């Protein structure tokens, strides 16, 4: 699937999803979160759930480039380490690439 096809698919299946699909190619995806007040937590930093949304959706988009439009494809495990807080006045970019694609863990 192309970036445009994945963007359209996400808008259709997950209309509340605020992410922009910037680019996709086989097993790779780059998405953008245009940060606004709804993504900030107390203290003025971007919330963990907003960052997890970006990470999970970027992986999902990379999977869609490989298997096509499968709404029920799921993430089995997602871990994140918050190494430093992102700037609240900048968009967040999520880049993903799949190391392995398969039906078994």
**Predicted confidence (pLDDT) per residue in 31-71, tens digit:** 999 999 999 999 889 999 999 999 999 999 999 999 999 88
* Least confident residue range of 56-60, 67-71, 76-80, 86-90: 76-80
Helix (H) / strand (E) element for 41: namely strand 40-41
Do 73 and 67 touch, CB atoms closer than 8 A? yes
CA distance 62 to 42: 32
- In this prediction the pTM is 0.89
Q: Which domains does the chain have, with CATH numbers?
A: 3-97 (3.10.129.10)
Report the pLDDT value the prediction gives residue 10, as an integer from 0 to 100: 96
SS3 call for 3: helix
CB atoms within 10 A of CB 52: 13
């Amino acid at each position: 699937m192309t970036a445009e096809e994945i963007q359209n698919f996400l808008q259709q299946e997950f209309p509340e999803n605020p992410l922009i699909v910037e680019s996709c190619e086989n097993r790779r995806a780059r998405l953008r979160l245009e940060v606004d007040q709804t993504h900030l937590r107390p203290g003025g930093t971007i919330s963990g759930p907003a960052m997890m949304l970006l990470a999970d959706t970027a992986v999902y988009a990379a999977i869609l480039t490989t298997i096509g439009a499968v709404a029920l494809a799921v993430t089995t495990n997602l871990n994140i380490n918050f190494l430093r807080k992102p700037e609240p006045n900048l968009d967040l970019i999520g880049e993903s690439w799949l190391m392995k694609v398969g039906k078994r863990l």
